[in-house]
Chains A and B, each alone.
Chain A
């Protein structure tokens, strides 16, 4: 789960990482009030779960409360990469910026350890830095039992040619950021940029955090930070029904049991010239009630011109799955064509049940994908 900048920075602040003073506004009036309190010289920043806010015009400087209100007026309601801006962060401006640094704590899957990643080339897209000048990125692993040690941050500070008088505060900030990472069960905490201000102090100007979904059950306060306004309705309903669902842009809905098979089904639709409308994994068992909920989710997308079921019957036998699909369809009124492909245990019995119910069946995944693509293009013409 991704946090907004203001949420991430509040957590940073709670763990002793220095952040600018500021607050969130949902209207120009609120933005004016916050700016007034901060003395007028502020930056107004769109809060949406996507990068490139600056380029899209979602970040504006203001030198008075009125200017802050005007900036908020422009930014609120703006569309940035498909996300509507509903709130802005109003932060005090940093007292001059001498240098911009990149600093992050993340998980290195290969080494199976948390890792600190830093670069003196801050304020830029770190992926781009990694590609064009990887030597500018410093990486240090953290052993959970040891935590961040002074020699590690000294090494990073020296590699970044940070002024010596800042090494002490850089260590403290980095150790605090790591504590924030662990205490929040994060998979990423990123400060970009971390700046050295004109006053010679370190300040986290921007913040990004991703929380490990697997840990939300034991972090209810963090789970409550989920921005329900930014989550599509269909994805919220799916989450509440324990269905893995991701809305995509295509016109062929898919319902599959198992995540790997669901991704594969999308891939094969594409291979045969179609575009998947969603990723949907109803879980290994493919229970009838899950099938019904899932079908409602898929059909609530008006772009869907065909639905492809791809179910592997394992311990849940193919005939049981087929009865579940037939029962689910009986409850839904739709003229969207459906193609079903069952494989595995008792697949033949299952296919016979589906054929009796006048459903189009397919023998292989390739066959099913081709039939679904054909049905969708026929319907859209």
Chain B
């Protein structure tokens, strides 16, 4: 077991004929992900041929709906540019996939507000946008987290960051500590699944024994997560918050990583998490030491 993606995942890649989409489809297939379809409007009927000759070709469709009808795809990943990405989210949700993972950066916030409101009326879950996706070691990778740095195990990881997460995961694997699933929820201010949504799944997952939560400045998702952890989590949670030295009012790379006035500071988040009984490392090198 694990959360969200596993051996049963049947993945459709939106934007499979693009450069990024093609490159990462190869990476995902090499990892063992069951990629059943690709979608590029206007290119239906073509085939995607993986670099690895031992893997079978993937059919390309004009719409997600058709891809779902023909292949039974249940998870979608979006590799399309920002101006088409919101449409791609709507299309995947409309076609009824269970989970949409959107990697695209630069989607306007007001578009995401509308998309979120629509998704709340559907059964579809969204991860992202502006995220590295997720990976269940030994089973499936949906996104761009390097497959070489993970190993199967029992630590769940959830994070707003990309390479910072890879750091922590890599350090865990080097120590022989494996992961159940690693989820990058992304760095945008309005997103699909948040910390609490993922923590709930980890709490219910029998394979996950403890959780690492990596937060950063901006918003109050970490404070909300702290409340949830105090009230509902029985599994230990360890955390790190990036951005203690970030100047206020500046967007630190991620659209959501900004201290606005007195809200969204690292100090506030660390204090809320510690009050909820979460061990917070002051240095990501130390997170591994806190895991037992």
Does A253 have its Cβ within 8 Å of any Cβ on chain B?
no
**Total of A-B residue pairs, C-beta within 8 Å:** 164
| Other-chain contact of B166, A127, A246, A262, A344 (Cβ < 8 Å) | A344
Q: Which of B250-275 contact A (CB under 8 A)?
A: 250-257, 261-262, 266
Taken together as a complex, chains A and B put the C-alpha atoms of A258 and B252 apart, in Å, by 10
CB-based contact B148/A264 at 8 Å: no
Does A185 have its Cβ within 8 Å of any Cβ on chain B?
yes
- With a cutoff of 8 Å between Cβ atoms, the chain A residues found around residue B148 in the complex are 345
Quick one: closest B residue to A280, CB to CB?
Answer: B253
CB-based contact A258/B247 at 8 Å: no
CB-based contact B161/A315 at 8 Å: no
Does B52 have its Cβ within 8 Å of any Cβ on chain A?
no
Taken together as a complex, chains A and B put the C-alpha atoms of A268 and B257 apart, in Å, by 18
Does B231 have its Cβ within 8 Å of any Cβ on chain A?
no
* Given A187-B109, A266-B245: A258 touches B162 (CB 8 Å cut-off): yes
Q: What mask results when residues 337 to 370 of chain A are scored 1 for a CB within 8 Å of chain B, else 0?
A: 0000001110000000000000000001110000
- Tell me, rounded to whole Å, the shortest Cβ–Cβ distance linking A105 to chain B: 11
Does B190 have its Cβ within 8 Å of any Cβ on chain A?
yes
Taken together as a complex, chains A and B put the C-alpha atoms of A258 and B160 apart, in Å, by 11
Q: What mask results when residues 259 to 297 of chain A are scored 1 for a CB within 8 Å of chain B, else 0?
A: 111111011111100001001010010000000000000
Quick one: closest B residue to A244, CB to CB?
Answer: B253
CB-based contact B190/A109 at 8 Å: yes
- Tell me, rounded to whole Å, the shortest Cβ–Cβ distance linking A371 to chain B: 14
Q: What mask results when residues 80 to 117 of chain A are scored 1 for a CB within 8 Å of chain B, else 0?
A: 00000000000000000000000000010110111000
- Tell me, rounded to whole Å, the shortest Cβ–Cβ distance linking B197 to chain A: 13
Q: What mask results when residues 222 to 249 of chain B are scored 1 for a CB within 8 Å of chain A, else 0?
A: 0010000000000000001011111100
* Given A127-B262, A214-B107, A266-B245: A259 touches B113 (CB 8 Å cut-off): no
| Other-chain contact of A143, B83, B117, B161, B216 (Cβ < 8 Å) | B117
CB-based contact A259/B149 at 8 Å: no
- Tell me, rounded to whole Å, the shortest Cβ–Cβ distance linking A12 to chain B: 18
Does B71 have its Cβ within 8 Å of any Cβ on chain A?
no
- With a cutoff of 8 Å between Cβ atoms, the chain A residues found around residue B251 in the complex are 213
CB-based contact B253/A281 at 8 Å: yes
CB-based contact A248/B247 at 8 Å: yes
CB-based contact A217/B189 at 8 Å: no
Does B60 have its Cβ within 8 Å of any Cβ on chain A?
no
| Other-chain contact of A345, B146, B255, B256 (Cβ < 8 Å) | B146
- With a cutoff of 8 Å between Cβ atoms, the chain B residues found around residue A312 in the complex are 163, 166-167, 170
CB-based contact B262/A144 at 8 Å: no
Taken together as a complex, chains A and B put the C-alpha atoms of A85 and B83 apart, in Å, by 37
CB-based contact B160/A182 at 8 Å: no
* Given A127-B262, A344-B149, A365-B284: A261 touches B252 (CB 8 Å cut-off): no
Q: Which of A139-167 contact B (CB under 8 A)?
A: 143-145
- With a cutoff of 8 Å between Cβ atoms, the chain B residues found around residue A266 in the complex are 245-246
Q: What mask results when residues 231 to 269 of chain A are scored 1 for a CB within 8 Å of chain B, else 0?
A: 000000000000010101000000011111111101111
Taken together as a complex, chains A and B put the C-alpha atoms of A281 and B242 apart, in Å, by 14
Does B27 have its Cβ within 8 Å of any Cβ on chain A?
yes
CB-based contact B167/A109 at 8 Å: no
Q: What mask results when residues 169 to 194 of chain A are scored 1 for a CB within 8 Å of chain B, else 0?
A: 00000000000001001010000000
Quick one: closest A residue to B145, CB to CB?
Answer: A314
Does A55 have its Cβ within 8 Å of any Cβ on chain B?
no
Taken together as a complex, chains A and B put the C-alpha atoms of A365 and B168 apart, in Å, by 12
Measuring CB to CB, which residues of chain B are less than 8 angstroms from any residue of chain A? 27, 82-83, 106-110, 113-114, 116-117, 144-146, 148-149, 159-167, 170, 187, 189-190, 214, 216-217, 219-221, 224, 240, 242-247, 250-257, 261-262, 266, 282-285
Besides A271-B283, A344-B167, 18 new A-B residue pairs in contact (Cβ under 8 A), listed by A number: A109-B190, A110-B220, A113-B113, A144-B110, A212-B255, A214-B108, A246-B252, A258-B163, A259-B187, A260-B161, A260-B162, A264-B240, A279-B253, A312-B166, A312-B167, A315-B144, A344-B149, A345-B148
Measuring CB to CB, which residues of chain A are less than 8 angstroms from any residue of chain B? 107, 109-110, 112-114, 127, 131, 143-145, 182, 185, 187, 212-215, 217-218, 244, 246, 248, 256-264, 266-271, 276, 279, 281, 284, 312, 314-315, 343-345, 364-366
23 contacts between A and B (CB under 8 A): A109-B189, A109-B219, A110-B224, A144-B117, A215-B108, A215-B110, A244-B252, A258-B163, A258-B253, A259-B162, A260-B163, A260-B187, A260-B253, A261-B161, A261-B167, A263-B216, A264-B240, A268-B283, A281-B253, A312-B167, A314-B146, A314-B149, A345-B149
